[in-house]
Structure 1
Amino acid sequence: MSLSPGHRQRKAAQTLARIEETLRRQDRQFVRWLGECGAALALDPALEAPLQALAGRLADLAGGDTAASGEELVRAVNRLRRSLEAAAGVSPSDWDFADPSSLALDAGSRRFFPGVRAYLDDVRSPFNVGSIFRTADAFGVAELLLSPFTADPAHPRASRSAMGATAVIPWRRQAVAELPAAPPGIALELRGQNLDDFEFPECGVVFIGSEELGVSPEGLSRCAHRVSIPMLGAKGSLNVGVAFGVFMNAWRAALVRRGCATVQNPCRLGTDGL
């Protein structure tokens, strides 16, 4: 029984996705097959001209006398498979996009500011939790502290949006009542001091509240500062993960200007369950 054009396109996209993964690992065993596949798709009458052109381009790169670079092949495969998915009505989610830097992360290579931490105060969305992990790793957060009701970083959606960061940044569960009095807490909230005017400390814990309710009253009681991001739009709000990124970039920049050094430590500072 022959497959419908849409079914063929989805199957081809799925196969190309698996081969793209091998190319990202510098494995070129399927390059010849890619050339044959591209040539066949370029002649497929069910495909529109732009898709046929992309397939022909892949065939030229993979089947030519001079082997294309891995980067060229990966991009050609990616463009073709994403275009096939779109033609078949498949819409990718944010976590479906592969990040080449997440293929083999080394926890010992990450640099961070030893006095910088973040507390996730009932952040409920696994996607947001994963995004915060990725951002925390990027901007040098030493450790993440998670409230008992914050979503599990091991949730599949969190793992996907974290792009490997949950495996390299230390984290643990801790109730607000269990937090030490020092260093000072900083609530990222509405109606606070303008972020542009805030004097960032070398040691501190930024509190990130829930998507619906913000930082809890218990969390606010542990914060010496309340800081807000200035906004110009009609909506006047940001996704919690985006807001955390804006805040952390400002904190990182302030510490760099002050000459605060980062450290590199191959030992994890503490992970939930250890």
Structure 2
Amino acid sequence: MMALLKAFYRGFVGGPDFNNTITRKFILEDKQLSVTMPDSNVAAIDNAKDVSFPHTSSIWFKQNAKVYMQHHYVRVMTENWMYVPPVGVGTSSEYGMLSCQVRIKQTSAINVLDKTALAQFVVQAYDNFHNGPEGRNTEIRQETIEETSQMARSFTPDELEEEIAELIHLRGKPAIPAAKLIEINGVDWVFYQEVKNNRRSHLDFYCLPLSPTSFLEVKFNHRVDRSDQHKKWAKHALESQQRIMEAILLTNIPASDDNLVAHNAEVV
């Protein structure tokens, strides 16, 4: 009864439950990555059984990396948390979902240990892809040029660019805010967002250098299915995101990794 009353007071059920957490530990060459976060409350992608990630190896990365738009990464683990109404009325009533994915990226374009360079790199990678040959903005530009060329009244170059800019703002991938450094547990992470002014759904990314060519990235996906209900769970999702980040630790590897392997075998 109390749980139901609490749900009605908050306006939602679900989200990360910090009374039900899991801890996984991974070997990143000479470092140990410890991740503690709530278990998924919805079916998630099976987490990898691997505990060792040789992040400086370009061969390993090419063999294991997944590609989505400008993101080239090797997934370490993923957890998902659904937000739903206190009383469900079908799947269409789902408010949305918060997901967290820990992954590793590589690049030889910069010295990743330079966090200022890394901050510029992640934003530039977004711009380069979406305004490049395979990007959505390029597709919008080409479509607009073709459509306007068939109109009775021709557009001036300035008018055409204004029309393209408006369409990119509405339907494309507009410029994202500059990345910045955020301190968590005394460590500076590079933080950036993929966000649009006309959408509540957004992506938050935290990046931490591992070597001159590799970095750890933690991605949070705030997927909003019902914008009219987002206010009810938005604060809880952001607070949960902060707590999860505070429980991600990168330390020197223990003298023996036997306990690490046994530990992950217990929680998988």
- Higher percent of residues as strand: 2
Q: Do they superpose with TM above 0.5? A: no
**Normalization by structure 2: what TM-score?**
0.23
Q: Which has the higher contact order (CA 8 A, sep 6+)?
A: 2
Whichever of the two has the greater Rg, that structure is: 1
**Normalization by structure 1: what TM-score?**
0.23
